[in-house]
Amino acid sequence: MRRYEEAFEWAGDLEEEFQQIKEKISPSRARYWYRIQVFKTIPTYGKYLIKWSCFMSKHYLITAVRHMRRQKSFTIINVFGLTLGLTFFFLIMIYVQFELSYDQYNTKANRIFRVANELPHGHTHGGKTAMTRTVTPLAPAMVEEFPEVESATRFARNRNVLLTYNNQDFLEDEVIYAEPQIFEMFSISLLRGNPDTVLNDPYSIVLSQRKAERIFGLENPMGKVIRYANSRDLKVTGLLKNMPQNSHFVMDLIIPMQAYAQFAELDLAKWENFGTTTYVLLRDGADPKTVEQRIPELYRKYGPDEIWPGGRRYCRPFLQPLTKIHLHSDLDGEYAPTNDIKNIYLFSTIAFLILIIACINYMNLATARSTKRGKEVAIRKVVGALRHHLIKQFYGESLLFMLLALCLALALV
């Protein structure tokens, strides 16, 4: 009995032994023996298949490199076109991904909503028909009256504020007045200070890392005193980790809401005052539409007649999901410039069109070159190349072009 490797190489001998067993013993025994021999050849067949596949892949690669060297102008044009297309595609998609990621860093983002107001018909504010500002007592009233609301907070801001430290002035674009609930609702991290007490003192201030470095340099900012607008002294009680830029508001300077009430001489309990932006955190399973429809009930219960539905100053409240503010909102009082989801669709379409054009350009050039390779294909067929061998060769060349262009594009990006 020959070894199964030899039997694999000499199928005729395998057939002869099958006939001998069939005649001397029995056909069933011969068939059983034949199946065993076939199964034994599978490892050898697999080994040879892998070996020749590797050999042919190496051959295709060498051939592709030779053609690239021989046709340098064609190679440069093709690689340049694909690289350019991929580079623009990647850059645009990075921008699109960044825009779509706004406020997604918040762990409770899917439960946070901003309360906004639609102005009465025919009225505008800042050229807009809706605004972010709400009545100042709305946040605590929603927590007290609505079981669906787990927490609520309110913001206010002041622009172009002068801060002074060690006789050095710093003109800041924006200061945010906020409540301690911001650390509970939003994923805002304190590097120093206790989030439960950091805003308890009305004459305190929390700085971000970048603002602390700008004002204090390498000094420890904790406990330092900053002069606010040449009128009040504020003590640094916390150091805030820099917020990501993909947030529809970025806080660098936070002052307690009580200070806002004192500085602006504003009664936060009065329902006539529209001076704060309200955010609510809903409980799991709460329906935002239900909460939205019930907000006017608070106006009727606590507010004057003029802000009731139908009143002279009534503004229809509505809820905005936190993650949709940047791309689906353009209200008066936005804390940062917003974008439009239509722009994202437009840029995405442009990116894919650029990629498709680059691929079509490559295919056109490859087709034009194929007319000059007819002799090569004919010779390969004469020496025994099958259709799938030629397909593998040309696919391999295309893959090499694509990989080279991809590496260059990634390097440029």
* pLDDT at 392 exceeding the cut of 80: no
* pLDDT at 349 exceeding the cut of 70: yes
* pLDDT at 125 exceeding the cut of 80: no
- Give pLDDT tens digits for 208-225: 999 999 999 989 999 999
233/366 same-domain check: no
Q: In this predicted structure, what is the pLDDT of residue 256?
A: 94
335/366 same-domain check: no
* pLDDT at 90 exceeding the cut of 70: yes
Q: In this predicted structure, what is the pLDDT of residue 4?
A: 43
Q: In this predicted structure, what is the pLDDT of residue 49?
A: 66
Q: Is residue 249 included in any domain, yes or no? A: yes
325/359 same-domain check: no
Which one has a higher pLDDT value, 67 or 262?
262
d(CA 86, CA 408): 9
- Give pLDDT tens digits for 14-72: 677 777 777 778 878 777 777 777 777 777 667 766 765 665 566 666 666 767 677 77
113/209 same-domain check: yes
For the stretch 9-33, what's the b/e string if a residue is b when 16 or more beta carbons lie within 10 angstroms of its beta carbon?
Answer: eeeeebeebbeebbeeeeeeebeeb
For the stretch 232-271, what's the b/e string if a residue is b when 16 or more beta carbons lie within 10 angstroms of its beta carbon?
Answer: eebebbbbbebbeebbbbbbbbbbbbbbbbebeeeebeeb
242/209 same-domain check: yes
The mean predicted confidence, pLDDT, of the chain is 84
Q: In this predicted structure, what is the pLDDT of residue 92?
A: 96
Q: In this predicted structure, what is the pLDDT of residue 7?
A: 43
Look at the alpha carbons of 188, 193, 194, 196 in this order and tell me if their dihedral is positive or negative: negative
Which one has a higher pLDDT value, 60 or 251?
251
Q: Residue 352 contacts by C-beta under 8 Å, 6 or more apart in sequence?
A: 89
Average of pLDDT values for 153-173? 92
Question: Which of 154, 147, 153, 141 is CA-nearest to residue 297?
Answer: 141
To the nearest whole percent, how much of the chain has pLDDT over 90? Answer: 51
Domain count, the chain: 3
274/166 same-domain check: yes
Q: In this predicted structure, what is the pLDDT of residue 72?
A: 76
Of 87-91, 128-132, 197-201, the one with minimum mean pLDDT is 128-132
Q: In this predicted structure, what is the pLDDT of residue 388?
A: 61
d(CA 60, CA 48): 18
* pLDDT at 150 exceeding the cut of 50: yes
* pLDDT at 138 exceeding the cut of 90: yes
278/319 same-domain check: yes
Q: In this predicted structure, what is the pLDDT of residue 381?
A: 60
* pLDDT at 277 exceeding the cut of 60: yes
79/208 same-domain check: no
116/207 same-domain check: yes
What separation in angstroms does the CA of 225 have from each of 67, 193, 201, 217, 243?
Answer: 72, 15, 13, 14, 23
Look at the alpha carbons of 210, 212, 215, 216 in this order and tell me if their dihedral is positive or negative: negative
> What residues make up the domain containing 151?
109-339
d(CA 10, CA 4): 10
Q: Is residue 309 included in any domain, yes or no? A: yes
* pLDDT at 197 exceeding the cut of 80: yes
Q: In this predicted structure, what is the pLDDT of residue 8?
A: 45
Q: In this predicted structure, what is the pLDDT of residue 29?
A: 78
- Give pLDDT tens digits for 302-348: 888 877 777 777 888 999 999 999 999 989 989 999 999 999 999 99
203/255 same-domain check: yes
Q: Is residue 57 included in any domain, yes or no? A: no
- Give pLDDT tens digits for 282-306: 999 999 999 999 999 998 888 888 7
Beta-bridge mates of residue 158: 175
Q: Is residue 347 included in any domain, yes or no? A: no
Q: Is residue 103 included in any domain, yes or no? A: no
The position carrying tokens 């801001």 is 157
- Give pLDDT tens digits for 60-75: 666 667 676 777 777 7
* pLDDT at 190 exceeding the cut of 50: yes
121/240 same-domain check: yes
* pLDDT at 368 exceeding the cut of 70: no
Instruction: Report which DSSP code applies to 2.
Output: -
